[in-house]
Structure 1
Amino acid sequence: MNKKTALSLTLLSCFALSSHAATVSPQEAGKLGTSLLPWGAEKAGNADGSIPAYTGGMTKPPAGYVEGSGKWIDPFADEKPLYSIDSKNVAQYADKLTAGTQELIRRWPDTFRVDVYQSHRTYPQMSAERAATSIKNATDPECKTVADGVGLAGCVGGVPFPIPKSGYEAMWNHLLRERNPGGFEGRGTNLVVDSAGNLATPQVFNVSTDSPFWTSGGDYYYRTLTSTLSPARDSGNKILLWYPLRYDQKDQRSWSYSTGQRRVRLAPEFSYDTPVTPLGGVLYFDEANMFNGRMDRFDYKLVGKKEMIVPYNAYKTALAPIDKIIGKKHANPDVGRWELHRVWVVEATLKNGMRHAASKRYYYLDEDSWSIVASEGYDQAGKIFRVLFSCFGANYVSGIGVVDFVSGLTGYDLARGGYTVVANFGDPKSYYKPVASHPANVFTPEAMAGRGVR
């Protein structure tokens, strides 16, 4: 029996949840705001206290943060690991580790390890209005997935499915997770290390994001504009992406601007398993933000909830200087932070007749924030060939939702070798600021062309 089958059977036997959407009963909905938080997480801690009870999350910056600077501070910088997991004791913790984590320990037994810290439930308490909307969504028949989960309709301004009944519902919770309503703007660096351990020339970028779902509504839930600053050969190149709610009716809108051609072009290929060129092909477009895009090529099954050791409150990772985070074969374990949390597990299986580099994927979603914190992909032969770990923390600057550090993650291509660190903010010139709003024309192809001169 291979690892993916074993994981699926184990979790199914423990939780036995239906893979089909079902109505939330009044008894279940009655738990929201009592034993369950309004957005669906369990309020209580676990039996032995290693996962604490939820007490409101982190809503204020730590001491030393300079307001408006865009320079984040790790609020847990002084903490020390409770214990570490490596090749010598991995069997002891195997039931708490994702298959991807175990694979990296197996592949690099002498150097890869997981440092486990005290668990902190930092996701900020939702506003009363958003909490109420989340509770309402749970039983609102108009808030639903459509076209076999591909699209979303009738949900606004709250978690769509605080008590998910299908993998599609859980994944939509991730796509629509609460972030700063006005979005972010910042400057960061993308890093790629090849199979020989060589660091490619870093890509420095500016980025602007917004999340209309949480503010004005409309047809699109997330928009992002990325502009390359260096290397010089790529300076001025831009990518603009709009992600729709009704994927069953609208396509993802994608545009690129090249300074060499000096024109904006539609880029429908920026989706699914198309490799992201600036990241050396290590990451696919549908792996941005751990997952983004249309859910029409896979069947998404809600396997259940489980206590697992996953990357969490990863400010240290996002803020690490480049020379501190880069290792020869993998990111430096010294800058990682892992905690024990409850996660929802979603299994995605490629549909018959569909094409994708992955035949199966597993996603692990944090119960508090609905962020995907880890994932792995299996190739057509059933072997793990992609492993991703997210980099996120509580948005303590605004006290609202999470800060994703522009889809910050560490991704491994185990088939070809090499890895990427997406959105590093360890350079002194880096910054990442929540904003109240963007000018109306920021996320338009016309404006992208107008600002496209080097």
Structure 2
Amino acid sequence: MKTGKPIVETEGAVRVLSKAGGVLAVGFTLLFHQGVYATPGVTPEELKQLGTTLTPWGSEIAGNKDGTIPAYTGGVKPPAGANPSDKIPLDPYADDKAVVTITSANMAQYADKLTPGTQALLKRWPDYKVNIYPTRRGYPQMSAERAQGSIKNAGNPDCKTTDDGVGLRGCWAGTPFPIPKSGYQAMWNALTHEQTEYELRMQSWIVDAGGNRTMTNEAIQQSDYPFWDPKETPYAGAAENYYRFLNKTFAPARDAGQKTIVWYPAEFDRKDQRIWAYTTGQRRTRLAPEFTYDTPSAALSGALNYDELGLFAGRMDRFDFKLAGRKEMYVPVNQYRMLTHTPEQVLGKQFINPDVTRWELRRVWLVEATRKEGKRHIAAKRRFFIDEDSWSILTSESEDDAGKLFRVGQSNGWPQYNRNETGAAGNMDYSNTTYDLSKGQYLLASFIDPATGWAKQVKRFPDYTFRAESMAGTGVR
């Protein structure tokens, strides 16, 4: 297979052969000539699909049979007037019109493509609706280096999870499991999915059962993704962690100056998640091991648990994760529209204003999680719907011990149409909405107020940015 050619269509599929700027099967033929064997569970025949019928990171290149999901042709392009230095990205799909609106009145005819959580929201509120737009497969094609990394992972027998699925081994600088064989593999793809390093100024809002809005937190967050940096030593130093972030709070006034650093290790079976909290009243930094699993986040008024950040975060040792297959579902994606609306325009009394959100028909992987016997968690079962293109979790659901659905999570992310100087891009999906059906309230986490907030794409921050010593040294109260 040669490189350096544009994307070309062949027999209803798109064969990605781009080198500059692109996806492709760079090194694909070379890998087989070197006699590389597939990741456990992946056959050589399946491996050959990467870069031909599948993108190097594992999504189906062809559209669906009836044309409602188009072929993948390289992802979103910068719209006219866009600038890499923009604090808030422009909407490349601003001219799109909804093709159908689903309400409680007509939901039955679309039920096979609606998640149980979406159906629950439609049934609960007669004026809740889901606006379906044309499917835009906006996830940006990976750089050649990152695409090759994904193919190498798929062809590397040492790229695997531990037997219990909790730890990651041998995978690096690409999608770990482009052809997932287990729920744990799919979840690891989601946890490590490609994102750009960023700095956010964001707010979180809770709307109670009476429709009252309260801003629970305003902060600046800085992120780091060592897993995607080929210059790092895999699984050592900063790269012990697939993701790190620093959160600096400046509102409400009582919390101003508080800081939190979080490390998520790849070898979760051997290493603990590390969280440090700087408290202004005590003027010291302490380890906070309790900020895990289903512990409610005080900064978010207890409306979101720590393992619900980004719809799922942390160690996977309290549930059995089963891969239930790939399905066509209506899910929230490409949420550029929300970035241009104020909190007053977004936050309805019972749910997010449906007219500022965008839903599409997408192929998603469904992972079903069942709590292990003897383990403690408020959820007995959880479901995760993961986008095949970006590996982002687009929506999640939790059931209690009685089998009753009590939480529904929705992503408010969007694809980055510019790569930064380190080649990073991917899907920005830090923000989400969580509906608590038992309390009748919802939380909008990490919302960017267009008047004051930003989502700046940046280079990797220096390592000391994410060190507890640095956080303690810069405390101001």
When normalised by structure 2's length, the TM-score is 0.88
The 8 Å contact of residues 162 and 168 in structure 2, kept in 1 or not, is answered as yes
> Matches of residues 228-239 of structure 1 in structure 2 within 5 Å?
228-239=249-260
The residue identity in structure 1 corresponding to 2:142 is M
Point out where structure 2 has 5 or more consecutive residues left out of the alignment.
Answer: 1-38
> Matches of residues 38-77 of structure 1 in structure 2 within 5 Å?
38-58=56-76, 60-77=77-94
The verdict on how the C-alpha distance between 1:143 and 1:22 changes in structure 2, with shifts beyond 3 A counting, is closer
> Which SS does the other structure have where 2:62 is aligned?
coil
Match of 1:137 in 2: 153
Does residue 170 of structure 1 match 2:191?
no
Residue of 360, 367, 370 corresponding to 1:349: 370
**72-81 vs 363-372, which moves further:** 72-81
The percentage of aligned residue pairs carrying the same residue is 52
Does residue 205 of structure 1 match 2:219?
yes
Match of 1:417 in 2: 440
Q: Deviations over 1:102-134 (max 9, x none)?
A: 00011112x211000000011111122221221
1:45 Cα offset (Å): 0.2
The 8 Å contact of residues 123 and 401 in structure 1, kept in 2 or not, is answered as no
The 8 Å contact of residues 57 and 121 in structure 1, kept in 2 or not, is answered as yes
1:237 Cα offset (Å): 1.0
Does residue 105 of structure 1 match 2:126?
no
The 8 Å contact of residues 350 and 441 in structure 2, kept in 1 or not, is answered as yes
The 8 Å contact of residues 392 and 427 in structure 2, kept in 1 or not, is answered as no
When normalised by structure 1's length, the TM-score is 0.92
Match of 1:23 in 2: 41
> Which SS does the other structure have where 2:68 is aligned?
coil
> Which SS does the other structure have where 1:35 is aligned?
coil
Residue of 283, 293, 296 corresponding to 2:317: 296
The residue identity in structure 2 corresponding to 1:200 is T
Does residue 432 of structure 1 match 2:455?
yes
1:372 Cα offset (Å): 0.5
The verdict on how the C-alpha distance between 1:154 and 1:168 changes in structure 2, with shifts beyond 3 A counting, is same
Residue of 296, 320, 326 corresponding to 2:341: 320
> Which SS does the other structure have where 1:442 is aligned?
helix
Does residue 195 of structure 1 match 2:209?
yes
The 8 Å contact of residues 86 and 113 in structure 1, kept in 2 or not, is answered as yes
The 8 Å contact of residues 188 and 427 in structure 1, kept in 2 or not, is answered as no
Match of 1:8 in 2: none
Match of 2:428 in 1: 404
The 8 Å contact of residues 53 and 62 in structure 2, kept in 1 or not, is answered as yes
The residue identity in structure 2 corresponding to 1:56 is G
> How many angstroms apart in 2 are the aligned matches of 1:292 and 1:256?
18
Residue of 87, 95, 115 corresponding to 2:112: 95
> Matches of residues 256-267 of structure 1 in structure 2 within 5 Å?
256-267=277-288
The residue identity in structure 2 corresponding to 1:263 is R
The residue identity in structure 1 corresponding to 2:97 is K
The residue identity in structure 2 corresponding to 1:450 is G
> How many angstroms apart in 1 are the aligned matches of 2:300 and 2:144?
40
**310-319 vs 150-159, which moves further:** 310-319
The 8 Å contact of residues 339 and 450 in structure 2, kept in 1 or not, is answered as no
The 8 Å contact of residues 96 and 309 in structure 1, kept in 2 or not, is answered as yes
1:440 Cα offset (Å): 2.6
4+ long deviations beyond 4 Å: none
> How many angstroms apart in 1 are the aligned matches of 2:183 and 2:320?
8
> Which SS does the other structure have where 1:225 is aligned?
strand
Q: Deviations over 1:250-273 (max 9, x none)?
A: 000001111111111111111110
Match of 1:14 in 2: none
The residue identity in structure 2 corresponding to 1:451 is T
Does residue 395 of structure 1 match 2:412?
no
Q: Deviations over 1:129-158 (max 9, x none)?
A: 221221121131100001410000100101
1:404 Cα offset (Å): 2.1
RMSD over equivalenced CA pairs, Å: 1.4
Q: Deviations over 1:377-419 (max 9, x none)?
A: 00111100010001111111227442425x2001111112211
Match of 1:5 in 2: none
Aligned residues: 429
The 8 Å contact of residues 418 and 425 in structure 2, kept in 1 or not, is answered as no
1:451 Cα offset (Å): 1.9
Point out where structure 1 has 5 or more consecutive residues left out of the alignment.
Answer: 1-20
